[in-house]
A and B are shown apart, each in its own frame.
Chain A
Amino acid sequence: MDNLPRCYSDIANEKYDAERVITDTSSDQIDVEAVILNLYKQFEKNAAMDPEMPLLNRNAHTAVLKTWLKGLPKSYECLDASRTWLVYWILHSLWLLNDMPDAETLSHTVQFLSHCQHEEGGYGGGPAQHPHLGTTYAAVNALSIIGTDEAYDSIDRSSLQKFLWTVRDVDGSFALHKGGEQDIRGAYCAISIAKITNTYTDALFDKTAEWIVSCQTYEGGFAGCPGMEAHGGYAFCGLASLALLNRTALCDIDALLRWCVNRQMRVEGGFQGRTNKLVDGCYSFWQGAAFPIISAILSQGNKEIIESVFFNQSALQEYIMVCCQARDGGLIDKPGKFRDIYHTCYTLSGLSVAQHGTGIGDPFVLGSPRNELNRVHPLHNVAPHLVYNAVHYFIRHPPPVKDKN
């Protein structure tokens, strides 16, 4: 019952009340709501005639993703230092849509990623770029999605582990690259990489959990570094890191849950990244994925397993399918914005989380049954069995050089 689609009049009732105090925050919010209410109104009219609505425009998304995998326009020059990310976002999106490229293309992708691997270990954003934790995380995830021996064997795990040590600080935090900025993304990427590739050691992550917990704020979410504002992307990094380290008991999970549930927007149905900010499709994953993790944590201390996720799965699916699909394929932040690969990946990932919830029980798919996407592992944002396959491959094939500690 909690998952029934909302009707337009109910949504319209939730409109923002600025209490006659107009500020930048309230007027931005009111503008966005006006656009979105219009879309929902239109949608209700159309849906009355078509029970398959809302419909995920699978073919358009798949088609544009496959073009992107080959090549990108000049406007992507600003992501020239994030090409392994582009590979991961595209492959993961295609996997969600259950339309993976052929084996030859995947093999070419492995070869390309090998050209981004740095001799000192880890991956750069492109060939001849310094290794970086973000782009390494993306490369490792992409190779896990490809999931062939060729893909797994292409990772030089001895040098990878050395790279992880070079970016670790004594307090357990991680810099994104040698001489680079330090924040909670670094810790998450390092942990995720190390867990998947079996380069994890306790020494490498000594004090990391404590450092991460110091990023939990008075609001309940996590910030990029201690003192800063709680933020959806960083909250995901914090929670997923603690879960991967088996140290979630260190954080205040009730406060985190309260903060997370409050990020879902009452009109839009999607998530905002911070208190009093605007909805954005990408937080469908960053905030959405926190819920299955939280339910799993709460189940540990409970006699009964919590089978549901504590957000409105239907409203999120509505937002994504009604407001975030670009006409010619690809997904967007919010109506009026241009599509891009990042938003395509994380909005689709969020749709998958909204459909599958904790993964226990039947999926809840709004609209046509054909809208159902493949499932993701909420800690890595890669398919659960693909994480499992990679982890087990790397356990069977330990890196040639042991960790220095």
Chain B
Amino acid sequence: MSDSGDSDIAWTLYKDRPEWKDITPVSEDDGPNPVVVIAHSEKFEDVYDYFRAVLKKNEKSERVLQLTKDAVELNPANYTVWQYRRDLLKALGTDLRSELDYVESVIKQSPKNYQVWHHRRVLVEWLQDPTLELELTGDALLQDPKNYHAWQHRQWAIKTFGLFSKEMAFVDNLITEDVRNNSAWNQRYFVVNNHLGWSDLNVQREICYAMEKIKFVKNNESAWNYLRGVLLHDKRGLSGNAVVTSFCEDLYKNKCRSPYLLAFIIDICDEAIKKGELSCFHNPDRAIELCTALATKYDKIRSKYWNYISEKFKIAKNEQEEKEKQQENGDKMDD
């Protein structure tokens, strides 16, 4: 991880520093029969021996603040060091702006680490100032557009401080860049769900957006999942929106056999059956036929799942036929 420190020739061990003479280092107490012993470098051991010593003494001083920097550099995942650093910042009344710069530099080196992002969040909470967060997370997402930590921090900042205004444009850019970036699609949902709201107009607009993207790349699960997610907010449901159902049927007619399309039509059938609104397109037989096609041809890896779903439709179909028979018998009795 942090080999950079070890190649530093000018480095003076803490035990050789006169200003640390008053501290007796505390070596790691693994007991007499340790396991999973990590072969630490001399520098690592030295820094942490001193960190343990000041932690035990509960020393709150500038020199300890510097020591935690060295400790973090050697292992940015040490949550105890970060927590103690926050205790120090409070106790010493350190300038939090410079701390923001510092943690930004650590984030740049370790962008996939829980502790660094949490530290950043606490600082922003203390300062009640999120001005730099969109840019910081934007940079991290430029490096890795699916960095979970960066997205989580961004969502927190946006939601806590109401920074929604430019987020849709940001998301749109990312989706344009990579239409398969599922994190960006998730962020789109986040913006509508927490800010724009699911008005009829917004629902229709988002449906059109997803359909456009599906037309562009049909095998893109992200767009299909988003479409399904938006339709959760359509009062007419999955099966009642004629724009969506005819969009699907057109794709099917044009020989599209994306498993996500077939799965979507199956869900439309399912809903139609539950609502009792069967049609020539959406009925148990069609669903069973599609399940078979998926299980044997278009989505073989999931054959067990599709067979299971198919069974559910067969049961529903039998129940339906049973009901019809009873009705017929009832009608006859009435005659």
Nearest CB of chain A from residue B87's CB, rounded to whole Å: 8
Q: Which residues of B lie under 8 Å from residue A315 when comparing CB positions?
A: 301
Interface band, chain B: 35 or more
B186 touches A229 (CB 8 A): yes
Q: Which residues of B lie under 8 Å from residue A266 when comparing CB positions?
A: 299-301
Contact with A along B293-335 (1 / 0, CB 8 A): 0000001111111011000000000000000000000000000
Q: Which residues of B lie under 8 Å from residue A356 when comparing CB positions?
A: none
Main secondary structure of the interface of B (DSSP, over half): helix
CA A312 to CA B194, docked complex, whole Å: 37
**Interface-side segment among A165-173, A195-203, A219-227, A279-287:** A219-227
CA A73 to CA B229, docked complex, whole Å: 47
B39 touches A72 (CB 8 A): yes
B2 touches A276 (CB 8 A): no
A127 touches B36 (CB 8 A): no
B38 touches A71 (CB 8 A): yes
Nearest CB of chain A from residue B158's CB, rounded to whole Å: 9
B36 touches A277 (CB 8 A): no
Is B151 engaged at the interface, CB distance under 8 Å to the other chain? Answer: yes
**Interface-side segment among A41-49, A76-84, A325-333:** A76-84
B186 touches A217 (CB 8 A): yes
**Interface-side segment among A110-118, A375-383, A387-395, A396-404:** A110-118
Contact with B along A78-121 (1 / 0, CB 8 A): 11111100110010000000000000010111011011000000
Select which of B35, B155, B304 is within 8 A of A308 by beta carbon. B304
Interface size on A (CB < 8 Å)? 79
B218 touches A71 (CB 8 A): no
**Interface-side segment among A16-24, A56-64, A236-244:** A16-24
A128 touches B56 (CB 8 A): yes
CA A336 to CA B181, docked complex, whole Å: 23
CA A23 to CA B177, docked complex, whole Å: 7
Is A130 engaged at the interface, CB distance under 8 Å to the other chain? Answer: yes
B193 touches A227 (CB 8 A): yes
**Interface-side segment among B25-33, B94-102, B234-242, B244-252:** B25-33
Q: Which residues of B lie under 8 Å from residue A162 when comparing CB positions?
A: none
Given contacts A111-B33, A228-B151, A312-B303, contact A77 B225 (CB under 8 A): no
Q: Which residues of B lie under 8 Å from residue A71 when comparing CB positions?
A: 36-39
Is A25 engaged at the interface, CB distance under 8 Å to the other chain? Answer: yes
Select which of B75, B77, B179, B225 is within 8 A of A23 by beta carbon. B179
Cβ-closest chain A residue relative to B159: A227
Give B5-42 interface residues, CB cut-off 8 Å to A: 26, 28-41
CA A79 to CA B44, docked complex, whole Å: 13
Give B152-202 interface residues, CB cut-off 8 Å to A: 152, 155, 159, 177-183, 186, 189-190, 193-194
Is A53 engaged at the interface, CB distance under 8 Å to the other chain? Answer: no
Cβ-closest chain A residue relative to B29: A127
Is B286 engaged at the interface, CB distance under 8 Å to the other chain? Answer: no
Is A361 engaged at the interface, CB distance under 8 Å to the other chain? Answer: no
A73 touches B83 (CB 8 A): no
Give B68-122 interface residues, CB cut-off 8 Å to A: 74-80, 83, 86, 114-115, 117-118, 121-122
Residues of B within 8 A of A (CB): 1-2, 26, 28-41, 44, 48, 52, 55-56, 74-80, 83, 86, 114-115, 117-118, 121-122, 145-146, 148, 151-152, 155, 159, 177-183, 186, 189-190, 193-194, 216-222, 225-226, 228-229, 232, 263, 299-305, 307-308
Q: Which 10 A-B pairs have the closest CB atoms?
A: A218-B229, A25-B180, A108-B33, A78-B1, A23-B178, A229-B186, A275-B182, A181-B118, A81-B78, A86-B36
What are some 18 contacts across the A-B interface (CB < 8 A)?
A21-B179, A23-B177, A23-B178, A71-B36, A71-B37, A78-B1, A78-B2, A80-B38, A90-B36, A111-B33, A125-B78, A127-B29, A128-B26, A181-B121, A218-B228, A266-B300, A266-B301, A311-B305
